[in-house]
Amino acid sequence: MLRLAAIALIGAVSAAASAEAVISLSRDHSGPPLRQAEAQIVTPQSDTSPAVGEAASIAKSDDGHYWAEAAVNGEEVRFLVDTGASAVALTPDDALRLGFDPKTLNYSFTVTTASGQARAAEVKLNTVAVAGAEVDNVDAYVIESGLKQSLLGMTYLGRLSQFEATKSALILRP
C-alpha cells in the first residue's frame, strides 16, 4: 500500500510539471465508470505480469525531462517518461508506425491533456522494452489529436518493481 501511495504522490507531482500529461480518462458511451485514485485514473489491466530483464537507466536531458527510446512491438518509439500519465499514450504517427491505422480505430474514450480534451482509442502493445526493462501486453491509448509526443505512462511504469529518479537519471527496475 505504501508503494502505491508513493507512486500516486510521484504521479501527482509529475502531472503538475508535465505539459503533456494525460490526467483523466472516461468513456464517451455509457458503461461502467472507471475508478479514480487521487489525481489519476486507474485503468483495468488484462495482464498484470511483472516486467522482466535488466535494470535500465535513462539520463535526464537538458530540458529536465526523461526521454526514453523504447522498442515497441519491435519498432523504435521515443517517449517522454510521464509518471503523471495514467497510461501509455501514442501519437497517431507513432501508432501508424506500430501497425495501428489511426483512421480505423474506435475512439471511445475522452482524455484531458494540457492542450484540452481529445478522443482516444485503446490498443494493446505486445511488448514495450526500455533498454533491458521489458513489459508484455501493455494497455495504451492512441490520442486522436493534441498530443505532441508519445508518453510512457503508468500502464508500463506501474508494472516495474521500482522506478527511481535521481539528479541525473531515471532508473527502471523490472
Contact (Cβ atoms closer than 8 angstroms) between residue 63 and residue 18: no
Tracing cell 506501474 back to the chain, one arrives at 158
pLDDT band, very low/low/confident/very high, at 13 (cuts 50, 70, 90): very low
Q: What is the tens place of the pLDDT at every residue in 118-158?
A: 999 999 999 999 998 999 999 999 999 999 999 999 999 99
Contact (Cβ atoms closer than 8 angstroms) between residue 142 and residue 73: no
Domain boundaries, the chain: 2-173
What kind of fold does domain 2-173 have according to CATH? Cathepsin D, subunit A; domain 1 (2.40.70)
What's the pTM?
A: 0.74
What CA–CA distance (Å, rounded) separates 24 from 143? Answer: 13
Phi first, then psi, for residue 107 (nearest 5°) are: -85, 75
Contact (Cβ atoms closer than 8 angstroms) between residue 72 and residue 133: no
